[in-house]
Amino acid sequence: MTNVKTSSLGYPRIGENREWKHALEAFWAHKITEAEFESIMKELRLHHLNKQKKNGLDLIPVGDFTYYDHVLDTATMLGFIPERFDHSGEKVSLSTYFSMARGNQSVQASEMTKWFNTNYHYIVPEINGTTAKLTVNRPLQAYLEAKDELGINGKPVILGPFTFLKLSKGYQDEQFAEILKSLVPVYIKILKELQDAGATWVQLDEPSLVTTITKEEMDLISHVYKQFSQELSSLSIMLQTYFDSVSFYEDVINLPVKGIGLDFVHGAQQTYEKLERVGFPTDKVLGVGIVDGRNIWRSDLHAIYEQLQRISRIVPAERQILQPSSSLLHVPVSLAQESALDPLLKKTLAFADEKLGELELLKQALTDPSEKTRAKFHESHSAIKALAQSPWRTKAKGAFRGPSKRSRPFAERQALQRAKWSLPLLPTTTIGSFPQTNEIRRARNLWRKGELEETAYKNLINEKIKKWIEIQEEIGLDVFVHGEFERNDMVEFFGEKLAGFAFTTFGWVQSYGSRCVKPPIIFGDVAFIEPMTVEETAYAQSLTSKPVKGMLTGPVTILTWSFVRNDLPLKDVAFQIAQALIQEIEALEAAGIEMIQVDEPALREGLPLKQEDKAEYLAWAVESFQLATSTVKDTTQIHTHMCYSDFHEIIDEIRALDADVISIETSRSHGELITAFETNVYDKEIGLGVYDIHSPRIPSEEEMTKVIERAISVLPYELFWVNPDCGLKTRAEEETIAALTNMVKAAKNVRETLPSKNTSLQ
């Protein structure tokens, strides 16, 4: 009999039915009082702890719950409250906390960005010369609450100082070491108070250890943790990493802490290799992140059992704590309510609650294996096997239809395309979607429920298309779009029409603040069934003599915004999607649509965390785009679109996509992006967004004229397109028309000043 323990790194906040989101939004809308809000939140928090307790978890995380974001919690706990927010005294009020998260009429919210390579977004802490000071010991509060209310001796979860500072802004690189040092006494205070309250374990999250860091930085971390260990007696630190293998394995395992938590799912190969080659200290506990905390697939318990045997050869089971590979924040709460899923598929899934159940089974198997445990192991194995052998997963691997290069180089295509399209200089266009009114949303919901007839729904969509074709004529745009009225979401829309995708009913995960998303599940071979976008696009084209762009979502974005099957490399799934898109593109071409935009807003998001892994990812990401878009005629113009402006890192790959035209979001950081293009000659056609669509403000003609002038002072004007930053789906109709009217006027103003007498691009 072996004595092995289980733990978890964090539990989803949102609740089985998104109670968390609803409470937050009700509070923001002043529909409930602060006291009511606090009491709903407490109830949820305790409910989550109870569920974990019932699941038999030995070490239950506390303090991972939040009212918005755990990084914001850490910043406000350490006293990093930018001056522009109203704050005085010790306590951080809820109103200060939420204005940092969301802004208010008079102050701008803090910046928000992606949490490592996940779809969760955190609030970026601002240091700006502030010295750390403990405002409130949040982990202590959480620890005491769990102890007093439920008798749970919880494991407080705290974002570690190194990662906290890495994720912050408002300081120079040279100041890093000094600021890190100044955080140490505050962390020591937090830890000591926890120790005094009786806590035995504390989890310090340092996921930045899996990114590419320098040896100097690693030494700083060692120094910090050494100071922690000198100050603590009965409190043990679990130094927790996740999302990949750690960069400095030997240094990390030798940190003076009691436990080291490693990810045995993501970057597992390197972690096993290091563990087996270098070993693991005999006086430490190993946090074994063995159940995937990032994806929704059930574990093959037989396979995991084997892996644990392998680990046990280096670290005996008594010194292991079995846990998910990361916080369960990234998966939905429970499968219990998913009654609409195909039973064969459902049996292969595990959300947060089911994952905790798996840990419990693994523990049982190791401590006191019974017939029942064995049966469960067998069940998990057969369920996964059944899916693997199902007709959904039969596609021959690796046999992809080429070509993956356009038949002529860009320069030749460009000449042919100019002759074909005769667009003016600085052609104007939009990114795809036009405002989605409540009327459309309501109609779509009714139609989905079967309460509105298909023809009535389609008629409404067609009415909108017609209305917006007329508006585009009126405004005088050069290249039109149909407006994407039939789409709720750019990934879901295609997922519902392609083979290989499934949709849950309650499978929500937090994206940022109260916003949750319900990612599709790519469970089988992705395949084209029938044309998905031809009808609406061809209808739009029939109403105008201006070109209408076909509008598709690219393979990498579909992949990145879904839960993806884990039996194939991501690359293979991307190529399957690309194959399906080829057929859609051919169908569009056959219907006379010869400008086709393939959106890849998530291209950058999919980047791996380690520098050395990036090239491989980018290579297949680019190849999947090329695969999807290279069968077209030379005169067919392929467009692409990307959001977020931080492109310096991937400018070569953007070029390699070989799209004829790209549109990029830039208006929020114009200077930076233009510099990137200054230093990296970009030779294809490009539209740098001339106005920010995230704000209801209507940009003036003068303002956009200046933006265009500035852009063509860097880029050759023959290559430049004029368009907004992104899709206009979330904007109101009136403001959209006003903004686009000004945009077209601005383009015309600049067009008139251009040297070419003939302002057509022929």
Interface residues with ligand GLN (CB under 6 A)? 431-433, 484, 490, 551, 599, 601, 641, 643, 726-727, 729
| Smaller CB separation from ligand GLN, 292 or 599 | 599
Minimum CB distance to ligand GLN, residue 469 (Å):
16
Q: What angle do CA 154, 158, 159 make, to 5 degrees?
A: 155
Q: Which residue has the tokens 């000449």?
A: 415
How far is Cα 351 from Cα 336, in angstroms, rounded to an integer? 9
Helix or strand (DSSP H, E) at 574: helix 570-590
- Given candidates 154, 483, 524, 601, which one binds Zn ion under the rule CB under 5 A? 601
Sequence-separated (6 or more) residues with CB below 8 Å from residue 268: 245
Instruction: With CA atoms as reference, report the closest residue to 67 among 137, 13, 119, 107.
Output: 13
| Smaller CB separation from ligand GLN, 312 or 669 | 669
| Smaller CB separation from Zn ion, 473 or 489 | 489
Q: What is the 3-state secondary structure (H, E, C) of 14-73?
A: CCCCCHHHHHHHHHHCCCCCHHHHHHHHHHHHHHHHHHHHHCCCCECEECCCCCCCHHHH
Per DSSP, the three-state class of 506 is coil
Stretch that binds Zn ion, among 498-506, 515-523, 568-576, 719-727 (CB under 5 A): 719-727
Minimum CB distance to ligand GLN, residue 490 (Å):
5
Minimum CB distance to ligand GLN, residue 492 (Å):
13
Token pair recorded at residue 603: 């291209």
| Smaller CB separation from ligand GLN, 355 or 549 | 549
| Smaller CB separation from Zn ion, 80 or 434 | 434
DSSP state for residue 297 in the 8-state scheme? B
Does the footprint of Zn ion cover residue 726 (CB under 5 A)? yes
Given a contact cutoff of 8 angstroms between Cβ atoms, the answer to whether 646 and 423 are in contact is no
How far is Cα 252 from Cα 229, in angstroms, rounded to an integer? 14
Stretch that binds Zn ion, among 37-45, 112-120, 258-266, 600-608 (CB under 5 A): 600-608
Minimum CB distance to Zn ion, residue 700 (Å):
23
Minimum CB distance to ligand GLN, residue 688 (Å):
14
Instruction: With CA atoms as reference, report the closest residue to 240 among 309, 314, 327, 173.
Output: 327
Q: Which does 194 bind (CB under 5 to 8 A by kind): ligand GLN, Zn ion, none?
A: none
By CB under 5 A, what part of segment 126-155 binds Zn ion? none
Token pair recorded at residue 474: 């009126």
Q: Which does 638 bind (CB under 5 to 8 A by kind): Zn ion, ligand GLN, none?
A: none
What is the maximum alpha-carbon separation in the chain?
88
Q: Which does 433 bind (CB under 5 to 8 A by kind): Zn ion, ligand GLN, none?
A: ligand GLN
| Smaller CB separation from ligand GLN, 729 or 751 | 729
Minimum CB distance to ligand GLN, residue 673 (Å):
16
Query: Residue 122: is it exposed, middle or buried by C-beta count within 10 angstroms (0-12/13-18/19+)?
Result: buried
| Smaller CB separation from ligand GLN, 376 or 641 | 641
| Smaller CB separation from ligand GLN, 354 or 599 | 599
DSSP state for residue 349 in the 8-state scheme? B
Q: Which does 48 bind (CB under 5 to 8 A by kind): Zn ion, ligand GLN, none?
A: none
Minimum CB distance to Zn ion, residue 726 (Å):
3
Stretch that binds Zn ion, among 261-269, 400-408, 419-427, 718-726 (CB under 5 A): 718-726
Minimum CB distance to ligand GLN, residue 532 (Å):
14
Q: How far apart are the first and last CA of the chain?
A: 81
At residue 760, φ and ψ (nearest 5 deg) are -95, 150
| Smaller CB separation from ligand GLN, 12 or 432 | 432
How far is Cα 224 from Cα 221, in angstroms, rounded to an integer? 5
Given a contact cutoff of 8 angstroms between Cβ atoms, the answer to whether 57 and 108 are in contact is no
Angle of helix 19-28 relative to helix 34-54, nearest 10 degrees, comes to 170
Token pair recorded at residue 568: 């194939």
Query: Residue 535: is it exposed, middle or buried by C-beta count within 10 angstroms (0-12/13-18/19+)?
Result: middle
Query: Closest residue (Cβ) to ligand GLN?
Result: 727
Minimum CB distance to ligand GLN, residue 585 (Å):
15
Token pair recorded at residue 664: 């990029």
Given a contact cutoff of 8 angstroms between Cβ atoms, the answer to whether 298 and 380 are in contact is yes
Quote helix, strand, coil % in the chain, to nearest 5: 45, 15, 40
At residue 613, φ and ψ (nearest 5 deg) are -95, -5
Q: Which does 599 bind (CB under 5 to 8 A by kind): ligand GLN, Zn ion, none?
A: ligand GLN
Instruction: Count Cα atoms within 13 angstroms, Cβ side, for 206.
Output: 30
Residue type, 203: Q
Q: Which does 257 bind (CB under 5 to 8 A by kind): Zn ion, ligand GLN, none?
A: none
Does the footprint of Zn ion cover residue 687 (CB under 5 A)? no
Stretch that binds Zn ion, among 437-445, 496-504, 700-708, 723-731 (CB under 5 A): 723-731
| Smaller CB separation from Zn ion, 443 or 642 | 642
Query: Site mask, Zn ion, residues 53-92, x = CB under 5 A?
Result: ----------------------------------------
The catalytic residue positions are: 694
Q: Which does 45 bind (CB under 5 to 8 A by kind): ligand GLN, Zn ion, none?
A: none
Token pair recorded at residue 189: 């205070």
| Smaller CB separation from Zn ion, 140 or 643 | 643
Minimum CB distance to ligand GLN, residue 684 (Å):
19
Q: Which does 356 bind (CB under 5 to 8 A by kind): Zn ion, ligand GLN, none?
A: none
Size of the site for Zn ion (CB under 5 A): 3
How far is Cα 673 from Cα 405, in angstroms, rounded to an integer? 27
Q: Which does 284 bind (CB under 5 to 8 A by kind): Zn ion, ligand GLN, none?
A: none
Minimum CB distance to ligand GLN, residue 647 (Å):
14
Q: Which residue has the tokens 């995991």?
A: 304
Token pair recorded at residue 508: 């929500």
Q: Which does 432 bind (CB under 5 to 8 A by kind): Zn ion, ligand GLN, none?
A: ligand GLN
How far is Cα 508 from Cα 501, in angstroms, rounded to an integer? 16
How far is Cα 10 from Cα 203, in angstroms, rounded to an integer? 10
| Smaller CB separation from ligand GLN, 247 or 640 | 640
Minimum CB distance to Zn ion, residue 641 (Å):
6
Q: Which does 165 bind (CB under 5 to 8 A by kind): Zn ion, ligand GLN, none?
A: none
Q: Which does 659 bind (CB under 5 to 8 A by kind): ligand GLN, Zn ion, none?
A: none
Residue 673: count of CB within 10 angstroms of its CB: 23
Token pair recorded at residue 752: 């008139």
Does the footprint of Zn ion cover residue 432 (CB under 5 A)? no
By CB under 5 A, what part of segment 615-674 binds Zn ion? 643
Minimum CB distance to ligand GLN, residue 518 (Å):
17
DSSP state for residue 391 in the 8-state scheme? G
DSSP readout, 695-732? S-----HHHHHHHHHHHHTTS-GGGEEB--SS--TTS-
For the chain, the C-alpha Rg in angstroms (whole number) is: 27
| Smaller CB separation from Zn ion, 427 or 601 | 601
Q: Which does 551 bind (CB under 5 to 8 A by kind): ligand GLN, Zn ion, none?
A: ligand GLN
Residues of this chain that interact with Zn ion (CB under 5 A) are: 601, 643, 726
